[in-house]
Amino acid sequence: MSLGSLIRSRREELDVTQEIVAAQVGISKPYLSNIETGKAKNPPSDGVLRSLERAMNFRPGQLLRIAHEEKTPTDVRARYEELLAEVNRLRGTLRDLCHGDRQLDESWEEPDEALPVEQVGQLPGGVVVPVINRVNAGYPHHFTDLGYPAGIADEYIRCPDVHDPQAFAARVVGDSMQPDYHQNDIVVFSPALEPQSGDDCFVRLGEDQGTTFKRVYMDDKQTLRLQPLNPAHPAQRYPREQITGLWPALFRVQRLRKS
């Protein structure tokens, strides 16, 4: 999501007008409109970005980082993200050395689709996103992130136009989300996005009931309907308090044929 799209999305989420935000920040409404649509000839200064962060409840520095990334040449940004992925990999190795070898969850399978971190630099420009095991497109299953800290994984993929530092990817297992998603597709999810009814989401259920990948409908204030796309699978309904994580899908990475 671009800087302007993120600002517009947050403003609409807060249900405030451009006039109100512009007055709080000390800029004109037309300039704010140009920022939101990406048409501003002069990009917002750091001072304006900090004011927008305060006025719209962003994390301090969040808009600054995105704006600075958008100004960075693609080749420089790609090299930086390649090195950052390698640093995260080394941190994971150091953690294992300090705490002993991790025990692999028995549901884990050796990946065969995503690129290992040493090949990340060969991908075109984009943001490095960790691939955390698999998500079941069927009944909820106890797939885990293998005990890694946030942002660290055995594999990474590069994904364009992602500005959520907590974004992660998972590989699809099962056929309940066909025809849109197939076995071994890799789907990128964003915890920073507010889920909307009809979004395809990574769903974490409470009380150790596992995770699943479904299209989520908010039919009422008390329950969520987890709807498979494959008509052979029935929908399931859960009380909202039973859902401990709901993260919308951003991108799908699909292999079209074997090399």
Give per-residue pLDDT as tens, 23-36.
Answer: 999 999 999 999 99
Residue 74, exposed/middle/buried by CB under 10 A (0-12, 13-18, 19+)? exposed
Q: Give the residue among 130, 133, 131 at the shortest CA–CA distance from 106.
A: 133
Q: pLDDT-based confidence at 126, cuts 50/70/90?
A: low
Give the Cα separation of 216 and 236 in Å (integer). 10
Contact 167, 250 (CB under 8 A): yes
Tens of pLDDT along 155-183?
Answer: 777 777 777 778 888 888 889 999 999 98
Which structure tokens are listed for 153?
């994984």
49 Cβ contact partners less than 8 Å away, ≥ 6 residues apart: 63, 64, 67
Q: Above 50 in pLDDT, residue 13?
A: yes
Predicted pLDDT of residue 249: 93
Contact 21, 32 (CB under 8 A): yes
Domains and CATH numbers, the chain: 3-71 (1.10.260.40), 105-253 (2.10.109.10)
Tens of pLDDT along 206-257?
Answer: 766 788 899 999 988 899 999 999 999 999 999 999 998 899 998 888 777 6
Contact 170, 214 (CB under 8 A): no
Q: What is the pTM of this model?
A: 0.53
Tens of pLDDT along 64-118?
Answer: 888 887 777 666 666 666 776 677 667 666 666 665 544 444 444 444 444 444 4
Higher local confidence (pLDDT), 195 or 156: 195
What Cα–Cα distance (Å) separates residue 252 from each residue in 35, 137, 194, 200, 248?
28, 14, 19, 11, 12
Q: Above 90 in pLDDT, residue 52?
A: yes
